[in-house]
Amino acid sequence: MTDPNNPSAPQPPAYQPPAYPTSNEPAYNAGPGAPVPGKTLGIVALVLAIVPVGLQLVGLILGIVALVQSRKAGRKNGVAVAAIIVSAILLVLGIIATIVAISIFATMGNDVYEACVVQGSDTVQIWGQTVACSEVR
């Protein structure tokens, strides 16, 4: 506001909105000792990736989320990267093992069906052991 009686009086500064970080600046710019955003989540993801309960997919997703959080803060997160790699490798190995197991049991079931039902045999060979068809059914 201007004083009409004294136009040469100092004027208050004009309103300036607060400065927000631009997209080029990291949103979280703390010192080297500050916690890394996403580090705890990366550790949880790595633990879930290693646990042999079939939680590799959850570990993979959490690892990606932790890595994105760290990258947005402009920090590195090696634990999240390790969780992503371990989860992906163990997930692929789990899928391959499941396919192999299904294939083995399907072949065994087909052999039992062929010997007991189609040929009408009383016994069948399963992995080198003779088993009565009545026990298999």
CA distances from 5 to 11, 117, 127 (A): 13, 112, 108
Do the domain assignments include residue 64?
A: yes
Do the domain assignments include residue 30?
A: no
Do the domain assignments include residue 15?
A: no
Do the domain assignments include residue 71?
A: yes
Choice between 61 and 7, residue whose per-residue pLDDT is larger:
61
Do the domain assignments include residue 11?
A: no
Do the domain assignments include residue 85?
A: yes
Do the domain assignments include residue 28?
A: no
Q: What share of the chain is helix, strand, coil (3-state, %, to 5)?
A: 55, 5, 40
Note the pLDDT tens digit of each residue in 67-114. 999 999 889 999 999 999 999 999 999 999 999 999 998 988 888 888
Do the domain assignments include residue 75?
A: yes
Choice between 87 and 133, residue whose per-residue pLDDT is larger:
87
Task: State residue 115's pLDDT score.
Answer: 84
Grade residue 28 by pLDDT with cuts at 50, 70 and 90: low
**Which residue has 């163990």 as its token pair?**
90
CA distance 43 to 87: 12
Domain range for 115 is: 39-136
Q: Is the pLDDT of residue 20 over 80?
A: no
Q: How many domains does the chain have?
A: 1
Choice between 31 and 43, residue whose per-residue pLDDT is larger:
43
